């Protein structure tokens, strides 16, 4: 496939020669052949000359759910990858949130094969324990060899600290990365929203910040004892930011992420009892949002994830207490981040960190594989249903004012464009 990008403004803060320069880019058979001020392509080249076309290295999301296998009515892998590509993502880490869960090497192989020959590449996680039930470790080594990039019991705490200890010690033998969800289930109890002024006014059962911070503190103590590599996904409180910052100062090998909605929205959004805003961990107070944003900017928080979780209408159109947690976020992530951080920082957030998961970092130069995202960062709009590409429509960003839209991706000698 031959593709010619015309007058594309390159956003690549690490490349001073090309950063914010307008260039033509010729791609032949998946390889960047020429970058120049005026490039002629072959007659059969697909010419991309979108208005205000910008290009960067391909974007990476460290936490996405689809439904397949088991919950295809929520989202299939095939359509999910199209959604990810049209949202600007060339690489996604796939949560082990299916039924059955991927706890064997054959499950990991199945997921990878379902994502073959797509512009957006799946990097599956395996579960940490068999059946994700928190009792016995799953086939970590075999799953790693099959292509699993990390091990995670999706949205479940590692209740047994000895299990976490054993997992961290064992995974060091093959460089495995262990995820530990930051929420103590006993303290959370039956809570459905952040414990604070808003939950009190609304009469909702609260989930205190303590439920998260106690779990984070425990996990960091275990990591300090064992060594190994730990990732704490989707932190949500100011206290967690401080705990992880201190752990990094000690030299512990810990990384963490935050869901984009915990940066963009606070628990004030819950006042209409709209179940689209029910997520785990919950939306916190505005002061937490500010601390999380600062943590992203100063590098304490390593990744911002869409935490994209499709949920069918039957599990959302119920009472708030009974609704399933989760919001889709792939389509709105760029607009949210660009609104908060501005263009350069947003692109840096979206392109960094693949190496943490043992993945190759792309480069933007002649002779390199084309792993590119196309976008328009200047479009102001209100995010509406017409912007939702997913099968499930459970987006908490509906009605939000955003800036910037993805156009699509060129990657793996494939193209996905809106």
At 356-395, the pLDDT tens digits run 999 999 999 999 999 999 999 999 999 999 999 999 999 9
Identify whether residues 314 and 188 lie together within a single domain: yes
Identify whether residues 120 and 251 lie together within a single domain: yes
Cα 153 from Cα 166, distance rounded (Å): 15
Identify whether residues 318 and 369 lie together within a single domain: no
Q: Which of 49, 142, 307, 413 is catalytic?
A: 307
pLDDT given at position 14:
87
Identify whether residues 236 and 176 lie together within a single domain: yes
Question: End of a domain among 331, 357, 383?
Answer: 357
Question: End of a domain among 317, 339, 357?
Answer: 357
Identify whether residues 351 and 382 lie together within a single domain: no
pLDDT digit string, tens, across residues 228-258: 999 999 999 999 999 999 999 999 999 999 9
Q: Among this protein's residues, is 253 annotated catalytic?
A: no
* CATH, residue 28: 2.30.40.10
Residue 414 near residue 116, CB atoms below 8 Å = no
Q: How far is CA 108 from the centre of its chain?
A: 19
What whole-number percentage of the chain has pLDDT above 70? 100
Cα 235 from Cα 213, distance rounded (Å): 9
How many C-beta atoms lie closer than 10 Å to residue 38's C-beta? 8
The domain of 201 spans: 58-357
* CATH, residue 293: 3.20.20.140
Identify whether residues 12 and 159 lie together within a single domain: no
pLDDT digit string, tens, across residues 343-352: 999 999 999 9
Identify whether residues 34 and 77 lie together within a single domain: no
Distances, alpha carbon 103 to alpha carbons 124, 153, 154, 230, in Å: 11, 10, 12, 19
Identify whether residues 389 and 273 lie together within a single domain: no
* E strand residue ranges, 248-348: 254-259, 303-305
Average pLDDT value for residue range 279-288: 98
Q: Determine the 3-state secondary structure of 114 from DSSP.
A: helix
Average pLDDT value for residue range 120-143: 98
Identify whether residues 385 and 241 lie together within a single domain: no
pLDDT given at position 41:
86
Question: End of a domain among 313, 328, 357?
Answer: 357
* The pTM of the whole model exceeds 0.75: yes
pLDDT given at position 33:
96
Average pLDDT value for residue range 285-301: 98
Distances, alpha carbon 161 to alpha carbons 84, 95, 96, 245, in Å: 35, 22, 21, 22
pLDDT digit string, tens, across residues 197-230: 999 999 999 999 999 999 999 999 999 999 999 9
Identify whether residues 77 and 223 lie together within a single domain: yes
Sequence-ordered list of residues with C-beta below 8 angstroms from that of 381, at least 6 positions apart, any chain: 335, 387, 401, 402, 403, 405
Average pLDDT value for residue range 405-411: 98
Identify whether residues 107 and 227 lie together within a single domain: yes
Cα 57 from Cα 351, distance rounded (Å): 6
Average pLDDT value for residue range 122-128: 98
Identify whether residues 24 and 147 lie together within a single domain: no
Q: How many domains does the chain have?
A: 2
pLDDT digit string, tens, across residues 303-348: 999 999 999 999 999 999 999 999 999 999 999 999 999 999 999 9
């Amino acid at each position: 496939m031959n593709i010619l990008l015309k007058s594309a403004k390159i956003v690549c803060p690490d490349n001073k020669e090309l950063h914010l320069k307008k260039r033509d880019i010729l791609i032949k058979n998946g390889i960047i052949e020429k970058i120049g001020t005026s490039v002629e392509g072959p007659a059969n080249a697909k010419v991309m000359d979108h208005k205000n076309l910008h290009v960067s290295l391909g974007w990476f999301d460290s936490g996405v759910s689809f439904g397949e296998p088991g919950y295809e009515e929520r989202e299939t892998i095939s359509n999910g990858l199209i959604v990810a590509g049209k949202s600007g993502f060339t690489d996604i880490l796939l949560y082990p949130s299916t039924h059955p869960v991927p706890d064997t090497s054959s499950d990991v192989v199945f997921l990878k094969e379902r994502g073959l020959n797509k512009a957006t590449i799946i990097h599956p996680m395996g579960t940490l324990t068999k059946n994700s039930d928190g009792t016995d470790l799953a086939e970590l080594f075999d799953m790693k060899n099959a292509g699993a990039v990390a091990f995670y019991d999706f949205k479940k705490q590692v209740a047994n600290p000895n299990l976490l200890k054993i997992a961290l010690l064992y995974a060091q033998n093959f460089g495995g990365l262990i995820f530990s969800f930051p929420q103590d289930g006993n303290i959370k109890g039956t809570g459905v929203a952040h414990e604070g002024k808003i939950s009190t006014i609304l009469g909702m059962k609260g989930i205190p910040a303590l439920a998260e911070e106690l779990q984070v503190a425990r996990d960091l103590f275990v990591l300090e004892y064992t060594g190994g590599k730990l990732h704490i996904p989707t932190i949500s409180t100011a206290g967690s930011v401080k705990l992880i910052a201190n752990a990094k100062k000690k030299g512990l090998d810990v990384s963490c992420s935050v869901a984009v909605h915990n940066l963009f929205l606070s628990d004030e959004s819950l006042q209409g009892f709209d179940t689209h805003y029910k997520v785990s961990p919950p939306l916190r107070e505005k002061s937490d949002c500010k601390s999380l944003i600062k943590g992203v900017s100063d590098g304490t928080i390593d990744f911002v994830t869409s935490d994209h979780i499709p949920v069918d209408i039957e599990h959302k159109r119920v009472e708030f207490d009974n609704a399933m947690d989760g919001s889709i976020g792939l389509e709105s992530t760029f607009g949210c981040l660009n609104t908060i951080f501005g263009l350069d920082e947003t692109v840096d957030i979206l392109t960094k960190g693949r190496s943490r998961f043992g993945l190759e970092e792309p480069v933007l130069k002649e002779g390199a594989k084309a792993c590119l995202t196309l976008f328009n960062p200047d479009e102001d709009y209100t995010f509406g249903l017409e912007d939702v590409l997913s099968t499930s429509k459970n987006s908490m960003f509906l009605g939000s004012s955003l800036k910037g839209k993805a156009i699509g991706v060129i990657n793996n000698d494939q193209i996905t464009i809106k």
